[in-house]
Structure 1
Amino acid sequence: MSSSSSSAQLSLPRALARLIPFAKPAKWWIFAGLLVALLGSVASLIIPIVLQWVVDGPLLTGDRTAIVWGVAAVLGLGVAEALFIFLRRRFVLRPMTEVEFTIRQTFYERLQRLPVAFHDRWQSGQLLSRMMQDIGLIRRWLTFGLIMLVVNVLTMLIGIGLLFRWHWALGTVFFICSLPIWIVGYRFEQKYGALSRKSQDQSGDLATAVEESVHGIRVLKAFGRGGHSLDQFRKQAESLRGTEMHKAREVGLIWFWYDLVPFLALGACLFTGIVLASMGQLTVGELFGFFALAAAVRWPMNSLGFLFSFLIDARTATDRVFEVFDAEITIADPEHPRTVEQPRGELAFRDVHFRFADARDHERDLVDGLDLVLRPGETMALVGATGSGKTTLTALPTRLYDVTAGAVELDGVDVRDLTLEELRGRIGVAFEDPILFSASVRENVLLGREDLDPEGPEADRVLREALDVAQAGFVFDLPNGIDTEVGEEGMSLSGGQRQRLALARVVAAGPDVLVLDDPLSALDVDTEALVEAALRRVLATTTALIVAHRPSTVSMADRVAVMERGRVTAVGTHSELLRTSDHYRYLISSLEAGEEAPAVDAAVAEPVAGDASPPHDDTPMSEPDDTTGSAGSTGTEEVAR
């Protein structure tokens, strides 16, 4: 992805600097943590100087009082170091959890604002791993890794500088012997960075695999494919394990060098110190103090391996989080929004074209120059063969996707000129595959009514009316009634129950325009008839576009629009279209058979008038029933004639 490549091109300091706006409110706490951590390190560096004074002074002279003061000084410095470490943790821990909260909240808000097209491309597991794992890692690095890296590098530099205090030759030997650490660290960054990114991406893929298998557990069990799913998971987990092992080898290698180099430096310094002492250029106390200080510097040097790997992991996590932050929000409020002065509920499609951004040049638009106007208060059924673009069309009025050409208008105003809040408050959508949230029935149905107090009498009235329209009275028989938690995605309910609650949700929102994508497909015939009877009361005063896959759904419409290959080819009443449209007769015949018509290639000749079967199909025509043709019937008898 482009965002990924742009993040990878940033240098490590510039990449991590992108966290500054989030960490800025806690900057004084970070500085305080750095200061007390540095004071703790300075306290540890002073101890060797005190020890040198004790060895060369009181121990040689036998001054017990001075020895006691020396011991007290070392004890005091040790206590001070421990206190500073405690204060460092106290200063940064709480502010960094607030920084983590801010990043996580901003990340979630960004996910809500990004268009549906973004979520179509991204795996949910990748987003989940960024939200939880990567942001948590960033917080731990800001809390511990950043401060300790700065402090330990400064401690090492200050300590090496103090080593020159006793003798320039000792300091020079120690410094030269320490240079390989920086060379190894640079090479480590180059290798470990790629491994860290690969590991975190694989973790996201593994999270996606787990999520998909949990959501699809019924399918896996029904087809007996649990073993196959386990094999696929094992392969992905093994791949992640291999990457983690490669990372561990790299970390182990750098730890080896960071452990070895200080010992080599100490060995070289010991030899040099003995020579200098034998020449009378160094006292025993100075040699003792030098090695005590070198030992104090050794820990910061050893920790660089861990801190460098932590730094690179944090940089990778930052890149992954900012890939989402950098994703373009293509569907947003206009700079100068308009409003509908006189809401009437007219919905119009003006020469609408739509194609996905990754569509190839030779592919036709999914919606290809479509024109359609729904009059205020009118119910229009949309019928068409599979792949004609019906479901795609239902996503355009609320700007789940933006048209690539033409315009969708609400009461004469282009929907792109309205704020998303106003637009989606005035147009309600119910999808064929209903999604419920892990919340109570009440919260799910009143999702679109932020203006109501969920526990107030008005909310209770709206809730009960919506449930009545959707024939969802079954909720009162649930263990806790309308306060029953429906579980993740509502899977504790049947498909028909979920569909009725989704319909109740859109009815409760009270929009001016309803867009329904086959909202009754999971209902049995008797329940469907009851829902349709109640729904007619709502449709009497509401503009509605209904994707119809059943003849009974068509019967609710004032007019019917026939869609072929992304265009509306005929509009009229049910009876008019039966008389004038061969393709409509074929579609109605398919709906009566209980299945949606397959897509018919435009290059194939049109069926002859009166033939309700597709071209070159020898299937006999349905027998006429005993009902007379009317606006509320399926028109079988008329088709037969």
Structure 2
Amino acid sequence: MTRPAIIDRAAALIPPFAQAERPPPRTLTAFLAWCLAGAWPILAVATVIAVISGTFDILAAILLGRVIDASLASGPEAVFSENALLFLGIAAFLLILRPLVFGTFSILQSIVLQANLTPLVLSRLHRWTLGQSVTFFDNDFAGRIAQKQMQTSRAVTEIAVEGINTVIFALAAFTSATLLLITIDWRVALILAIWLAGYLWFITWFLPRIRVRSAARAGARAAVSGQVVDTITNMRTVKLFANAEHEDAAAINSMRTYRDRIIEFGTMATLFRVLLTVIASLLPVLLTGSVLLLWQAGMATPGDIAAVGTVSLRISQMTGWVSFALMGIYANVGEAEDGMKTLTPRPSITDADDAKPLEINASRIAFRNLRFTYGREEGGIEHIDLTIEPGEKIGLVGASGAGKSTLVSLLLRLYDPEEGRVEIDGQDIRHVTQDSLRAAIGMVTQETAMFNRTARDNIRYGRRDATDAEVITAAERAEAHDFITGLRDHRDNAGYDAFLGERGVKLSGGQRQRIALARAILKDAPILVLDEATSALDSEVEAVIQTALDTVMEDKTVIAIAHRLSTIARMDRIVVLDDGRIAEQGSHDDLLARNGLYARYWQRQSGGFLTTEAAE
């Protein structure tokens, strides 16, 4: 169905994916302003329309009073002849002007604001989250982070939309009602003012308490999502270890906490609703009764009674609507604040203000007096001085915990060293952009990362502008083409169009590693890191892959980590790490002749793998 052009033009008034110009603040008001930056002109227009709409509601009651007074004054015979212009004006107001204003208000609410604010806020939060350091994701549930993004964007949108739709509209209506009552008698307006003061006290006492309980409920709900997603993500492990009962108990415990928070919130909300009904019902009694007394004393007209009665009923009804909306706004404020605390920490790794793209000349890597212990007194690496010449192939060897992966993480700048520096072609990597650094490094790890996308998309992730032919060539070189052509998913997509499942669960470990190798081959970066790149392959496939790797490693600076020492024996140099320090280095033959730690590793291997006990 084709949308009217006016709808598309209205929807385009706010750019839905505009980038934020600064990091998100960590105070609530500033955070909300950051989220909504770029939408403020339209929010201001919507506010003006809300004021007009709120005024029109009261104006309609005034006009009703005028109709009654004019009708009584003219009598049945002359009511239309003497008041034709008045009645035509009122009809034009009710049938043309009022629908036009309310229609405009509805378009702003439903099409301009609702359709754009959520994606605007969500895209900003998602971009900021993408810039977080690896430790941010290591310390939280993936499901919880995603839940917080969605929760916060929805909450901010509701705060803005309901704030205009309810608060501004209601303020305009209350102000107009007060002015109407003043024209009748200041004492009636005073009654409204006293009632309003009591109503505001009631709101200010209840809503902060509702906000606190809402935040607690939101946190408990996110914890349930995180727990459930964590279990589902690792369902294969749950099945293998027969721990379904344990996971069920953990989920039930999270759900029990969530249920308790819901009950606490519901108890406060119920008390709020009951007392509100009493307060709202009091207003028509007070206002209509006072105007009846004034009419009895000859100080008010029947039209005044009708106008005040209509206004008091409208405000009474509005009181419930406004209060529930405010309760929702406060609940959303609590959820937005909770999301702000989760999503806005500053990344531990950031580009320097003067960071420039990395310039690759020869791909020389230098670790200079490097120390990193993850903030602890022990562990990590100490006093690493190592230079890897352009095109040199280095093998890193050491027992678990020796510091091999730490060294690679520092090269990729997933962490910053506590002492020393890492250089590539003489450039301190802390002074280059992270994207350019990682674009220059191809990596294949033991824990291969797969998206629940097609085989083609997973390989093309190495170089997104690669052609289909280049993707297939990379897969052939990684010995992945044959099994890829036999893939078929549950949607009946086949071959390179088949989806691999979340984290590549539909593939074997060896198949995932070959996809990852194809991705690295396609990337063709000048520096290559292989972290147990063939550990999931059987010997026959590894032999074939090794030939492909030899070709891929040509003219590249290579760092290879392996427990299977046979895979790195042909490297130009082998560096042996022990307890975070370089214990020895040299060629395979040199290290065997030295009869040191590497020689003991080689001798004590069982089935070609380096065991932790070999370090002892």
Identify the TM-score tier after normalising by the shorter chain. 0.7 to 0.9
The separation in 2 between residues aligned to 1:76 and 1:302, in whole angstroms, is 30
The separation in 2 between residues aligned to 1:517 and 1:614, in whole angstroms, is 19
Tell me the amino acid that sits aligned with residue 269 of structure 1. L
2:572 matched to which residue of 1? Answer: 558
Contact 1:441–1:486 at 8 Å: present in 2 too? yes
2:38 alignment partner, SS class: helix
1:482 matched to which residue of 2? Answer: 496
Kindly report which structure 2 residues correspond to 1:93-172, keeping only aligned pairs within 5 A, or say none: 93-96=110-113, 97-172=115-190
Kindly report which structure 2 residues correspond to 1:81-480, keeping only aligned pairs within 5 A, or say none: 81-96=98-113, 97-323=115-341, 326-337=344-355, 343-356=361-374, 359-360=375-376, 363-450=377-464, 452-455=465-468, 460-461=469-470, 463-479=472-488, 480=494
User: 1:518–1:263: structure 2 CA closer, same or farther, 3 Å change rule?
Assistant: same
Tell me the amino acid that sits aligned with residue 303 of structure 1. W
The separation in 1 between residues aligned to 2:228 and 2:89, in whole angstroms, is 58
The farther-off stretch of 588-597 and 117-126 is 588-597
The separation in 2 between residues aligned to 1:555 and 1:65, in whole angstroms, is 111
Contact 1:273–1:282 at 8 Å: present in 2 too? yes
The separation in 2 between residues aligned to 1:166 and 1:538, in whole angstroms, is 90
User: 1:113–1:259: structure 2 CA closer, same or farther, 3 Å change rule?
Assistant: same
The separation in 1 between residues aligned to 2:471 and 2:304, in whole angstroms, is 86
User: 1:306–1:127: structure 2 CA closer, same or farther, 3 Å change rule?
Assistant: same
Contact 2:35–2:124 at 8 Å: present in 1 too? no
The separation in 2 between residues aligned to 1:444 and 1:404, in whole angstroms, is 35
The separation in 1 between residues aligned to 2:365 and 2:478, in whole angstroms, is 23
The separation in 2 between residues aligned to 1:73 and 1:248, in whole angstroms, is 48
Per the TM alignment, residue 547 of structure 1 is displaced from its structure 2 partner at its CA by 0.9
What is the aligned counterpart of 1:573 among 587, 591, 605? 587
The separation in 2 between residues aligned to 1:199 and 1:137, in whole angstroms, is 14
Per the TM alignment, residue 570 of structure 1 is displaced from its structure 2 partner at its CA by 0.6
The farther-off stretch of 318-327 and 519-528 is 318-327
The separation in 2 between residues aligned to 1:552 and 1:133, in whole angstroms, is 51
1:66 matched to which residue of 2? Answer: 79
What do the CA deviations read for 1:175-219 (whole angstroms, capped 9, x no partner)?
213322111211123212221221222222122112111111112
User: 1:288–1:428: structure 2 CA closer, same or farther, 3 Å change rule?
Assistant: same
The separation in 2 between residues aligned to 1:63 and 1:286, in whole angstroms, is 20
User: 1:38–1:396: structure 2 CA closer, same or farther, 3 Å change rule?
Assistant: same
The separation in 2 between residues aligned to 1:614 and 1:421, in whole angstroms, is 37
Contact 2:177–2:311 at 8 Å: present in 1 too? yes
Residue 530 (structure 1) aligned with residue 539 (structure 2): no
2:62 alignment partner, SS class: helix
Per the TM alignment, residue 462 of structure 1 is displaced from its structure 2 partner at its CA by 5.7
Superposition CA RMSD, Å: 2.7
1:237 alignment partner, SS class: helix
What is the aligned counterpart of 1:52 among 65, 72, 80? 65
Contact 1:100–1:135 at 8 Å: present in 2 too? yes
User: 1:24–1:393: structure 2 CA closer, same or farther, 3 Å change rule?
Assistant: closer
The separation in 1 between residues aligned to 2:596 and 2:67, in whole angstroms, is 107
Tell me the amino acid that sits aligned with residue 540 of structure 2. D
The farther-off stretch of 38-47 and 516-525 is 38-47
Per the TM alignment, residue 409 of structure 1 is displaced from its structure 2 partner at its CA by 1.4
User: 1:206–1:159: structure 2 CA closer, same or farther, 3 Å change rule?
Assistant: same
User: 1:497–1:147: structure 2 CA closer, same or farther, 3 Å change rule?
Assistant: same
1:373 alignment partner, SS class: strand
2:169 alignment partner, SS class: helix
What do the CA deviations read for 1:528-556 (whole angstroms, capped 9, x no partner)?
11111221122232221111111222224
Tell me the amino acid that sits aligned with residue 302 of structure 1. G
Per the TM alignment, residue 399 of structure 1 is displaced from its structure 2 partner at its CA by 1.0
The farther-off stretch of 383-392 and 276-285 is 276-285
Contact 1:115–1:400 at 8 Å: present in 2 too? yes
The farther-off stretch of 144-153 and 201-210 is 144-153
User: 1:406–1:242: structure 2 CA closer, same or farther, 3 Å change rule?
Assistant: same
User: 1:614–1:561: structure 2 CA closer, same or farther, 3 Å change rule?
Assistant: closer
Contact 1:381–1:559 at 8 Å: present in 2 too? yes
2:582 alignment partner, SS class: strand
What do the CA deviations read for 1:265-291 (whole angstroms, capped 9, x no partner)?
332334434443333333333223222
The farther-off stretch of 194-203 and 242-251 is 242-251
Per the TM alignment, residue 425 of structure 1 is displaced from its structure 2 partner at its CA by 2.0
Contact 2:152–2:336 at 8 Å: present in 1 too? yes
Per the TM alignment, residue 389 of structure 1 is displaced from its structure 2 partner at its CA by 1.6
Contact 2:373–2:380 at 8 Å: present in 1 too? yes
Contact 1:551–1:592 at 8 Å: present in 2 too? no
Tell me the amino acid that sits aligned with residue 308 of structure 2. F
Per the TM alignment, residue 407 of structure 1 is displaced from its structure 2 partner at its CA by 1.1
Tell me the amino acid that sits aligned with residue 130 of structure 2. Q
Aligned length: 583
The separation in 2 between residues aligned to 1:588 and 1:420, in whole angstroms, is 37
Contact 1:377–1:541 at 8 Å: present in 2 too? yes
The separation in 2 between residues aligned to 1:578 and 1:143, in whole angstroms, is 73
Per the TM alignment, residue 365 of structure 1 is displaced from its structure 2 partner at its CA by 4.5
User: 1:614–1:416: structure 2 CA closer, same or farther, 3 Å change rule?
Assistant: closer
Tell me the amino acid that sits aligned with residue 517 of structure 2. L
Contact 1:346–1:543 at 8 Å: present in 2 too? yes
1:331 alignment partner, SS class: coil
Contact 2:351–2:433 at 8 Å: present in 1 too? yes
1:626 matched to which residue of 2? Answer: none
What do the CA deviations read for 1:210-245 (whole angstroms, capped 9, x no partner)?
211111111222233223322321221232222123
Contact 1:378–1:544 at 8 Å: present in 2 too? yes
User: 1:158–1:588: structure 2 CA closer, same or farther, 3 Å change rule?
Assistant: farther
The separation in 2 between residues aligned to 1:525 and 1:267, in whole angstroms, is 89
User: 1:441–1:81: structure 2 CA closer, same or farther, 3 Å change rule?
Assistant: same
1:282 alignment partner, SS class: coil
Contact 1:367–1:389 at 8 Å: present in 2 too? yes
The separation in 2 between residues aligned to 1:335 and 1:464, in whole angstroms, is 40
TM-score (norm 1): 0.84
2:491 matched to which residue of 1? Answer: none
The separation in 1 between residues aligned to 2:91 and 2:262, in whole angstroms, is 43
1:19 alignment partner, SS class: helix
Which runs of 5 or more residues in structure 1 are unaligned?
A: 1-5, 600-612, 616-641
2:44 matched to which residue of 1? Answer: 31
Contact 1:178–1:262 at 8 Å: present in 2 too? no
